[in-house]
Chains A and B, each alone.
Chain A
Amino acid sequence: MHDMLNLSLTGVAEKIRKKEISPVELTEAALARIEATEGVLNAYVRLNADHALTAAREAEAEIVTGRYRGELHGVPVALKDLYDMEGLPTTCSSKVRHDHLAEQDSACTARLKAAGATIVGKTHTHEFAFGITTPTTGNPWNAEHIPGGSSGGSGATVASRGCFMAMGSDTGGSIRIPAAVCGTIGLKPTFGRVSRFGVASLSWSLDHVGPLTRTVRDAAITLKWLAGYDPRDPGSANETVDDYLSALDAGVKGLRIGVPRNYFFDLVDIEVNKAVQVAISKLESLGAVLKEVDIPYADQIMGVEFGLCMPEASAYHRGMLRERADLYGEDVRVFLEAGELISATDYITALRVRQQMKDAWQTLYTEVDAVIAPSVAAPATRRDQEVIDWGGGNEEPVTPAFVRLSAPANVTGLPSVAVPCGFSSSGLPLSFQIIGRPFGEARILRIAQAYESATDWHTRAPSL
């Protein structure tokens, strides 16, 4: 593998700034790397070579004449194919959208272009982001296993060194799940922190957009360029954007980290559990103060998640389901049909329970600065696997098994970052997440950075 593709975004940006790496050569290398791995991974709906190389040439011309825009300038990145990019289709990995053409850039696309990034392509999603297996795509650590989802293509390409950052979206875990099972960082910012304008919706109440990267600092840098108010997104928050980098290396000494007594460790793969416990001990050894906490409204988390997501998704797809039902994949079609049949009062009840849940989490955070938990309950399942066998006759379908630990940060809207913390005996990545206070991204990134700096999981690369 070419050395420069193995650098972090932070590392490659520094070399671009110093004119030690050419954005054009870097983009050519990234495109070649993607083409070399696509036969196994199929991470991309389409490559965007012409645009990327044009942007790279422009970046190079600007940088050599002293007009360096910042860390993303000349850096190859990718967009989940829910994000509009002017002049290109946004397929959502669905035949339903085969004739779609974006008329303008999504807010994130525009910000990435303005930052000078070279967008190498559009990555595969589970169809319309409504699932967590991304069946089109393989896991770079073992292509017979899922890359997670719904941002599976983004997880696969970041882990396999196809690009330095890829955007995902997260409605029930769709940034953190692929990050966890592909061994990358996955940052779901606070609800409203990053504009969703121009990103196809799954559920307006639960959708978040954010980056998958190979290091914590790369995620902090990306958030710096993406965060901000956008009135075109009705969920966008008009809150001050913090400095995510200045205190990144401040460590965890004295920070109070909540370790859940219930819910998050109730039904978890033994290797995941052990790796997360070791990670918790590592943070304690670095000076964090651990405190056991009880997760409020644990029995209602999935009820709120599904009670909001299902009818909102069906509302978004209402016209398409009536015109093009046969073009949907079976799993998505039946969810959309079922979502049509949920009563409005069930939906509003979910909204009301969510309000009470929010208040209870606020109380929880009077005792702690962050909560740590496994990102997902198990390592990546096989692509043909439908259930996880927990033993004792207890089988759980794959989708709820992966969603239930990520959903709490969706229904509460709290920021959460997934961090690699080891590998299973079969060589698949393991991960924990840190959940913070509203708009507390700087603090959870600081905790993640402390852990990452004390370990080397983020330096491991799949042998593709």
Chain B
Amino acid sequence: MNRIPVTKEEIETLAKAARLDLPENRRQLVAKTMDGIYQILASLDSVELGDTAPAFAYRAKWEGR
């Protein structure tokens, strides 16, 4: 899964999907930051995860109140 450089137009689309009002003058800055983050996250793509389940903190047991 190759990560490609993110454009500020794509950032605008992603921000809309997140319901985040991202002013025009911030999109380039966020795009640059996202590039760095995507590069770091790309290291996870090579891991064969099989059926490994994530650990969530949720516990169904009711605690005393």
Binding site for B on A (CB under 8 A): 204-205, 231-232, 234-235, 297, 299-300, 302-304, 306-307, 310, 321-322, 334-335, 337-338, 340-342, 346, 348-356
Contact = CB atoms under 8 A, between A and B. Distances in A.
B41 A342 contact: yes
Contacts of B15: 337, 340-341
Contacts of B56: 351
Contacts of A300: 43-44, 47
B47 to A, nearest CB: 5
B58 A234 contact: yes
A306 B20 contact: no
A353 B47 contact: yes
B4 interface: no
Nearest to B43: A303
Given A231-B63, A340-B15, A341-B15, A353 B34 contact: no
Nearest to A234: B57
Contact of A235 (B30, B45, B57): B57
23 contacts: A231-B63, A235-B57, A299-B46, A300-B44, A302-B40, A303-B40, A306-B40, A307-B41, A334-B30, A337-B26, A338-B30, A338-B33, A338-B37, A340-B18, A341-B15, A342-B37, A342-B41, A349-B45, A350-B41, A350-B44, A352-B49, A353-B47, A355-B52
Question: 7 closest Cβ contacts across the A-B interface?
Answer: A351-B54, A231-B63, A303-B43, A341-B14, A340-B18, A303-B44, A338-B33
B44 A337 contact: no
Contacts of A348: 54
A437 to B, nearest CB: 18
Nearest to A338: B33
A355 B49 CA distance: 10
Nearest to B22: A337
Nearest to B47: A353
Contact of A356 (B21, B41, B49): B49
Contact of A310 (B14, B37, B45, B52): B37
Contacts of A342: 37, 41
Interface string B27-40: 00110011001001
B44 A304 contact: yes
B40 A337 contact: no
Nearest to B26: A337
A341 B57 contact: no
Given A334-B33, A338-B30, A351-B56, 19 more contacts: A204-B57, A231-B64, A235-B57, A300-B43, A307-B44, A310-B37, A334-B29, A337-B26, A337-B33, A338-B33, A338-B34, A338-B37, A340-B15, A342-B37, A342-B41, A352-B52, A355-B52, A356-B49, A356-B52
B30 A341 contact: yes
A353 B54 CA distance: 8
Contacts of B18: 340-341
A341 B49 contact: no
B41 A346 contact: yes
Contact of B41 (A306, A337, A352): A306
Contacts of B11: 341
Contact of A349 (B44, B58, B63): B44
Contact of A355 (B29, B30, B37, B54): B54
Given A231-B63, A234-B58, A356-B49, A340 B20 contact: yes
A340 B53 CA distance: 23
A379 B65 CA distance: 48
A226 B53 CA distance: 32
B40 to A, nearest CB: 5
Given A231-B63, A334-B29, A353-B49, A346 B44 contact: yes
A340 B26 CA distance: 14
B26 A356 contact: no
Contacts of B63: 231-232
A382 B21 CA distance: 35
A356 B47 contact: yes
A7 to B, nearest CB: 40
Contacts of A302: 40, 43
Given A351-B54, A354-B55, A337 B30 contact: yes
Contacts of B40: 302-303, 306-307
A420 B21 CA distance: 46
A432 B22 CA distance: 42
Contacts of A310: 37
Contacts of B20: 321-322, 337, 340-341
A355 B33 contact: no
Q: Which of A235, A335, A346: most chain B CB closer than 10 A? A: A346
Nearest to A336: B20
Contacts of A303: 40-44
Nearest to A358: B55
Contacts of A352: 47, 49, 52-54
